[in-house]
A = this chain, B = another copy of it.
Amino acid sequence: MKPLTDATATVAGLRERVLAFARERDWEQFHSPKHLSMALAAEAGELMEHFLWTESKDSATPLADPAKREKIEDEIADVVIYALEFANIGGIDLAKAIGAKLAKNAAKYPVEKARGSAKKYTEL
C-alpha cells in the first residue's frame, strides 16, 4: 500500500483502510455504533490527558517533544480511526456531514457577530 498523506488521501480511501483492518480480524461483530462511540470517547479522553495541567497558551509544548508528539499523534489517529469506522458502520458520508455541519455553524456563528468571540451562539 502506498503511504498515506493528507494531500492525496481521500476520506473514502481512509475508510477502506480502516474497514479492511477490522474485516481481516473479524472485528465488525464488535463494531456497533454504541461500542464505537464509547471507544472514540475513551480515546478522546486519552488525547486530552496530554494537556491536563498545562495552561492553554503552553499546550503546544508537548507537541515539540518528539516522544510526546508521537503519542499525541497516535491518540488523534485513534480518534479519527474510530470516527471513520463509525461512518463505515453507520453508512455516513463523513465529508458531506462535515460540510452540512459547517454550514449550520456558519448560520449560528455569522462572521460579523462571532469574530474574536468565544461565546456560545446562544449568548452572542
Contacts and interface: CB of A to CB of B under 8 A. Distances in A.
Given A4-B98, A25-B115, A81-B101, A60 B32 contact: yes
Interface residues of A, number: 86
Contact of A98 (B26, B27, B72, B77): B77
A21 B105 contact: yes
Interface string A73-86: 11011111101101
Nearest to A20: B102
Interface of A: 3-12, 14-15, 17-18, 21, 24-27, 29-30, 32-35, 37-42, 44-57, 59-60, 62-63, 72-74, 76-81, 83-84, 86-87, 89-102, 104-106, 109, 111, 114-118
